[in-house]
Amino acid sequence: MPAADIRHDWTRQQVLDLFAMPFSDLMFTAQQVHRTHFDPNRVQVSTLCSIKTGACPEDCAYCPQSARYDTGLEREKLMKVEKVLEEARAAKAGGATRFCMGAAWRSPKKKDMPYVTQMVREVKALGMETCMTLGMLNDDQAKELADAGLDYYNHNLDTSPEYYGEIITTRTYQDRLQTLGRVRAAGMKVCAGGIVGMGEGDKDRAGLLMQLANLPEHPESVPINMLVKVAGTPLEQEKDLDPFEFIRCIAVARIMMPKSHVRLSAGREQMSDEMQSMAFLAGANSIFYGEKLLTTANPEANKDMQLFSRLGIQPEEYQQYADESAVEAELNAQITEQQNDAFFYDAAK
């Protein structure tokens, strides 16, 4: 399979064939694809902030924020804008280039929209990319967020259509796909992935990735989460996922969505440095950085940077341009620099 192929016509059997490859062959193929489209030693760094915690009416079986489960999580109201900005400034100082804001809602209410759009505008003013996950959106809400300048909207599919009913019953798979369509139509980038380790099989992991890769456009960001088992949720006793099965999922996602950032997301607290390193080798090139992901633990920021240093990885830089002329000027400067390098040598060497 050519490493540069961009496809939207995957069949279930083709995806299962990828999962069934010998591990070393799968990793080699994923590395070829990764190096075709990305610097293999750069990782995009995001920070996630819970702007409204708990009391969600949905029944997602993995989620401690559901009002249906007793997980000991304290309910919190929507965070004030200035507090969100404090978190964003700290994230930027710590090396994050994208600030993601999540609210435990089925969908945002009309009264909430002025606050979340203000958050978007002011975080962008700090020079960061912005992402939000607020539940389902209607057309008007998607347009409001896009008009405020939101870069990414996160809405995960969670699992395959066939296994979905085992995980959530309060919204349909089609509801999720419709929200992704509205995000795209409004002009925002899509962040969509899923969770593995919820009792699903290979067919379901293949089904999830097939749904994502067969969208009209691949999501720009694909978070692959490993289940975090939280006491009080229906999945708290789920057996541990074989680490190699998780790495296979990362590698197959990289092969199927070559130009997407594949994010090593929830579950990193349970991963050894060696497992995370193998995930990067399989094609993961984005992480959530900080001490927690919404309500679950995450490796401490300095530990991530220590691992990056050991692996020779650098955080991916975020460049902002005011307009297309600025982009053109930057490209021309790079071309001129390359031409000069070809004609002159460094006398200091």
List pLDDT tens digits, range 155-180.
Answer: 999 999 999 999 999 989 999 999 99
Which residue among 176, 248, 263, 268 is the active-site one? 263
Flag whether 7 is marked binding: no
Task: Kindly report the number of other CB atoms within 10 A of residue 90's CB atom.
Answer: 15
Strand-pairing partners, residue 221, are 191, 261
Local confidence band at 333 (pLDDT 50, 70, 90 cut-offs): very low
Lowest mean pLDDT among 75-79, 146-150, 242-246: 75-79
- What does each C-alpha distance from 229 to 197, 225, 239, 269 come to in angstroms? 10, 12, 9, 12
Which residue among 98, 171, 176, 191 is the active-site one? 191
Which residue type is seen at 217?
A: E
Local confidence band at 96 (pLDDT 50, 70, 90 cut-offs): confident
**102 vs 130: CA distance, rounded Å:** 11
Which residue among 56, 176, 205, 268 is the active-site one? 56
Flag whether 49 is marked binding: no
Residues 6+ apart with CB under 8 A from 42: 285, 313, 314, 315, 316
**Strands 221-226 and 42-52, bridge-based pairing:** unpaired
Flag whether 56 is marked binding: yes
CB 15 within 8 A of CB 209: yes
Q: Of all residues in the chain, what percent carry a pLDDT higher than 70?
A: 83
Flag whether 60 is marked binding: yes
Flag whether 249 is marked binding: no
Flag whether 100 is marked binding: yes
- Is 63 one of the annotated active-site residues of the chain? yes
Q: What is the DSSP string of 246-281?
A: HHHHHHHHHHHSTTSEEEE-TTGGGS-HHHHHHHHH
Residue 287 pLDDT:
87
Which residue type is seen at 194?
A: G
Local confidence band at 324 (pLDDT 50, 70, 90 cut-offs): very low
- Is 191 one of the annotated active-site residues of the chain? yes
* Vertex 287: Cα angle to 282 and 291 (nearest 5): 135
> Is the pLDDT confidence value at 321 over 70?
no
Task: Kindly report the number of other CB atoms within 10 A of residue 279's CB atom.
Answer: 24
**229 vs 197: CA distance, rounded Å:** 10
Alpha carbon dihedral 114, 138, 78, 190, in 10-degree steps, equals -100
195 closest CA partner among 59, 296, 45, 62: 62
- Is 249 one of the annotated active-site residues of the chain? no
Flag whether 63 is marked binding: yes
More confident residue, 69 or 153: 153
- Is 49 one of the annotated active-site residues of the chain? no
Residues 6+ apart with CB under 8 A from 260: 218, 219, 220, 221, 222, 253
**197 vs 243: CA distance, rounded Å:** 10
pLDDT (tens digit, 9 = 90+) per residue, 119-146?
Answer: 999 999 998 989 998 989 999 999 999 9
Residue 346 pLDDT:
42
